[in-house]
């Protein structure tokens, strides 16, 4: 097995190559026959599991697409149903809260901004000089 290969596909390919090489040279390695047979069984099982895994991935993708489609349809139907409930009970009724609809409770009055009181000019210590009227 290659020391660098860590991906599943690469490891599987390496195992298959070794299995085929062992099969081709089984006459030259009769003392390794029990190990070769065990190894061939492991490689065969590994390939079957990988096939199942790929099939499950494809199935999962199809299921995910179907799930997304149904979720979209469900959200759309939920909007229609909530609108119908709101029309049935009225937009101001508290009962519609049970269905996930917020009732209309009127507009909130905005508070008038607080104006700072004008401060009086500081008074001087003496009387203010009078200006002669002409």
Residue 91's φ and ψ, nearest 5 degrees, are -75, -15
- At how many degrees (to 10) do helices 33-89 and 8-24 cross? 150
Domain boundaries, the chain: 8-99
pTM: 0.52
**Token reading at 73:** 């349809």
Q: Picking from 47-56, 76-85, 116-125, which range would have the lowest pLDDT averaged per residue?
A: 116-125
Q: What is the pLDDT of residues 82-115, one digit of tens each?
A: 999 999 999 999 999 999 999 998 888 787 777 7
Q: How far is CA 133 from CA 51, 126, 127, 130, in A?
A: 110, 21, 18, 9
Residues 102 and 92: their CA atoms lie apart, in Å, by 9
Question: Is the alpha carbon torsion for 34, 40, 46, 48 positive or negative?
Answer: negative
The per-residue pLDDT for 122 is 62
């Amino acid at each position: 097995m290659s020391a660098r290969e860590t991906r599943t596909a690469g490891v599987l390919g390496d195992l298959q190559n070794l299995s085929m090489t062992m099969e081709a040279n089984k006459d030259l390695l009769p003392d390794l026959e029990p190990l070769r047979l065990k190894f061939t069984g492991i490689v065969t099982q590994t390939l079957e599991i990988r096939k199942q895994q790929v099939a499950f991935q494809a199935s999962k993708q199809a299921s995910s697409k179907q799930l997304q489609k149904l979720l979209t349809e469900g959200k759309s139907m939920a909007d229609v149903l909530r609108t119908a409930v709101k029309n049935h009970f009225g937009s101001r009724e508290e009962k519609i809260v049970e269905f996930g609809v917020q009732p209309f409770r009127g507009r909130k009055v905005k508070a008038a901004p607080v104006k700072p009181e004008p401060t009086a000019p500081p008074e001087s210590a003496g009387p203010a000089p009078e200006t002669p009227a002409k």
